[in-house]
Amino acid sequence: MAFSNLVLLFKLFSFLLLFRSTQSKLSADYYNKTCPKFQNIMQTILAEKQLSAPTTAAATLRVFFHDCFVNGCDSSMLIASNAFNKSERDANINLSVAGDAFDLITRVKTALELECPGVVSCSDILAVSARDLVVMVGGPFYEVVLGRKDSRESNPSIVDKNLPKALTPMNELLSLFSSKGFSAEEMVALVGAHTIGFSHCKEFANRIFNFSKTSEFDPAYNPVFAQGLRKLCANYTQSPAMSAFNDVYTPGKFDNMYYKNLQIGLGLLSSDQAMVTDNRTKPFVDRFAANETAFFDTFARSMEKLSVYKVKENNDGDVRRRCDQFNTLQ
């Protein structure tokens, strides 16, 4: 009996050693030897792009989130459709993503391929771009480990069930984030990315036009804000690009004003406004509104966690030569 136990322990120990050896090889200095100018090249291009197109930070953050939540942070969101393959970009929720993010990634990848061809993955470029742009517009710094590989597939049919939408009920939102390993607090912090960027009128039109038999607009809105949105979006069906800032006061600055806006009826999307009335999320909205440091700390921790969600390593993926195309025709 004692001998059999010893054999069992030996096998368990061997398994643990093997398991440990196959664990994540991601590291902050992954490109130090293979592409030492990686950070400098990225920072230069990111700064130039953000200065010329201030919507780049919000767009890139959204692409990063949409990429990671759909089968992991593997840059499958960056693939463009071709005659043989439809990609995640074709999913309805992704059609409104601003093109500045894709243009940025193309610029960075082109420069890195000239400096160190075939070395830096598109997944790492996207993860670092999201972090650095958040910092550029006033948000918190957080560690991004490197070494991700790029996905060999991009399937639009799995997008909708993996991403939150403007009209998603709170129960479903919490369930979706929980299925990815995120708590209610982390969800509220991640949604705080709406402190920058904008939303198209179609995303909140149901709240400002013919809301109910007794009210033209959602009474949860500040009345003055609602009337302003009604004027802004009056012709949104003819002009689908019409949009409004998620944060009406500091739309280009990453801060905690978004949560303060929710408290006074200035939450643009119904899913956002619901966070201030639901007992499971309201305490975090109130805490982040009162304490920007608490928001930044939780956001940074949550983004670190998100950035390694179901990443691909080693032979599980490729380093794409172009971020919008697979290395082999699909």
Does 74 carry a binding-site annotation? Answer: yes
Of 291, 215, 203, 280, residue with least CA distance to 243: 203
Question: CA-to-CA distance for 93 and 179, rounded, in angstroms?
Answer: 20
Does 88 carry a binding-site annotation? Answer: yes
* Alpha-carbon distances, residue 3 vs 6, 10, 16, 195, 281 (angstroms): 5, 11, 20, 62, 54
Does 143 carry a binding-site annotation? Answer: no
Does 277 carry a binding-site annotation? Answer: no
- The set of residues, in sequence order, having a beta carbon less than 8 Å from that of 12 and lying 6+ positions away, is none
3-state SS class at 272 = helix
Q: Is 200 a catalytic residue?
A: no
Question: CA-to-CA distance for 188 and 168, rounded, in angstroms?
Answer: 14
Does 200 carry a binding-site annotation? Answer: no
Q: Number of helices (H) and strands (E), helices first, in the chain?
A: 13, 2
Is 74 within 8 Å of 125 (Cβ atoms)? no
Does 44 carry a binding-site annotation? Answer: no
DSSP H or E segment with residue 245: strand 243-245
Does 108 carry a binding-site annotation? Answer: no
Q: Report residue 234 as tokens.
A: 């009056």
Does 297 carry a binding-site annotation? Answer: no
Does 150 carry a binding-site annotation? Answer: no
Question: CA-to-CA distance for 142 and 301, rounded, in angstroms?
Answer: 7
Is 261 within 8 Å of 289 (Cβ atoms)? no
Of 213, 233, 200, residue with least CA distance to 97: 200
Does 311 carry a binding-site annotation? Answer: no
Question: CA-to-CA distance for 187 and 69, rounded, in angstroms?
Answer: 12
Mutual angle of helices 56-69 and 292-307, in 10-degree steps: 50
Does 106 carry a binding-site annotation? Answer: no
Q: Which residues of 39-52 are buried (b: 16+ CB within 10 A; e: fewer)?
A: eebbeebbeebbee
Catalytic residue among 66, 109, 149, 320: 66
Binding site: which residues? 67, 70, 72, 74, 76, 88, 164, 194-195, 247, 250, 255
Instruction: Give me the active site residues, please.
Output: 66
Binding site for heme b: which residues? 194
Binding site for substrate: which residues? 164
